[in-house]
Structure 1
Amino acid sequence: MAWRIKVQNLLVQACGVDSEHYKAFVRAERPGVYNGSYDIFLRARAVFRAAKEDYEGGYMESARSLIQAEVFEDELAQAQELLGKGYYAAAVIAGVVLETGIRELCDRHSIPHGKLDKMNADLAKAGVYNALQQKQITAMAAIRNSAAHGKPEEFKQQDVEDMIRDVGQFLAQHLPV
């Protein structure tokens, strides 16, 4: 019985509660009129294997990437709107999007998470992007940090506009959908 809970939890985490894999698993674990525990196990195992194949084949990753791209786009649009109203918190939002994208790149390249500077250096060292891109990320992180610490004298509005644009371009280039 414990295996059912573990598999169910894994499917929810990997696929989502509304996924076909999860729904099929729930249906498969329902006892029928003429079947016992072993039959339920075989049906549930088949669903789990199908989900595993889809995961290993990268089919679930593409859906995740689409959702993530949509969220990034919405957050950058929000940053642009805030900047248009004179709020430098836009740099903080764009910086969060950047750091989240960097973490995702680290995951895709099996690089451990850490501070942004360390992840940035590790990604450049791994050849995910070049030293110029690394320096650009460092500069964007500095703008974000200045905005987060209430130091607007350390950057200009144009810097934040460029940052929002550059974060979007970086994500489009390195985390394509």
Structure 2
Amino acid sequence: MDTSQRFRVRIDRLLAKGSAVLGTHSPDPPGVIGFPTLDHGAFTEWRAQSLSLLTNLLGTDHVYVASFEQEVDRSYTSSVEAGIGILKAVSEDLEDGFLTDVLTLVSAEVFTDFLAMAGHLLECEYKDPAASLCGAVLEEGLRRVATNRGVQVRERDDLSTLNQKLAAKSIYTRLVQKRLAVWTDVRNAADHGKFSEYSKADVADMHAGVSSFLARHLT
């Protein structure tokens, strides 16, 4: 499941949760007008989770985030209906590919964080988990590159298969493909406990190479 799919799954869950919040509607008592009619706790939880997703996906300055903050301010039925409408619009834009640049930025930031973790592990002489982490970042990065370039991949495609597909589409050169194949071997050795088949220097080269590769192909 790629990044776009994961966000859409999360939005679907929040849409269902928003509908559940609407189901907590309790009419005002006779003679009372204008008070919120939805369960405040359920509303607050849904609003916080929705804003967290939107800001993680789009950033704090995006129009969807600003609209959600403005429209979904109190536990009124109309507020939740507005929020559900915004979430549906974001999901539709994701489905139609209009938020590709945003997803690329999110992916790049996440990859940077994980590569920083791998670098720290390497500095602390933990070459094996560092190799596994670099390999995982590379695999997810290749999936993102494939999505951005219109190369069709399947969920079961592994790092080697992704590398072959992208090279076959001339996304990068055969020389780059060979470098990625070396990093794939290091990752596979780490994941299968064959720790003597590679050195700390091999992992350091992999870490630097993956960082450079993703910086080039995810921007």
Say whether the 8 Å CA contact 2:11–2:87 is kept in structure 1: no
Gaps of 5+ in 1: 1-8, 33-39
Q: In the alignment, which of 103, 110, 124 is matched to residue 151 of structure 2?
A: 110
Distance 1:47 1:117, change over 3 A: closer
Q: TM-score, normalised by structure 1?
A: 0.71
Residue of structure 2 equivalent to 1:99: 139
Say whether the 8 Å CA contact 2:151–2:166 is kept in structure 1: no
Kindly report which structure 2 residues correspond to 1:10-49, keeping only aligned pairs within 5 A, or say none.
Answer: 12=11, 17-18=50-51, 19=54, 20=64, 23=68, 30=77, 44=85
Deviation at 1:56, TM superposition (A): 4.9
Which whole-Å deviations, capped at 9, do the CAs of 1:22-68 have from their partners, x for residues lacking one? 838x86x9559xxxxxxx8xxx5x9956875687573x223222221
What is the aligned length? 155
Residue of structure 2 equivalent to 1:72: 111
Q: In the alignment, which of 138, 147, 161 is matched to residue 190 of structure 2?
A: 147
In the aligned structure 2, how far is the partner of 1:153 from the partner of 1:116?
Answer: 21
Q: Which moved more, 1:47-56 or 1:79-88?
A: 47-56
Residue of structure 1 equivalent to 2:180: 137
Residue of structure 1 equivalent to 2:122: 83
Distance 1:125 1:48, change over 3 A: same
In the aligned structure 1, how far is the partner of 2:169 from the partner of 2:142?
Answer: 13
Structure 1's consecutive aligned runs of 4 or more residues displaced over 6 angstroms after TM superposition are: none
In the aligned structure 2, how far is the partner of 1:47 from the partner of 1:158?
Answer: 47
In the aligned structure 1, how far is the partner of 2:94 from the partner of 2:130?
Answer: 38
Gaps of 5+ in 2: 1-7, 13-48, 55-63
Say whether the 8 Å CA contact 2:11–2:91 is kept in structure 1: no
In the aligned structure 1, how far is the partner of 2:139 from the partner of 2:170?
Answer: 18
Residue of structure 1 equivalent to 2:31: none
Deviation at 1:103, TM superposition (A): 1.2
* Partner AA of 2:130 in structure 1: A
Q: RMSD value over aligned CA atoms? A: 3.4
Deviation at 1:91, TM superposition (A): 0.4
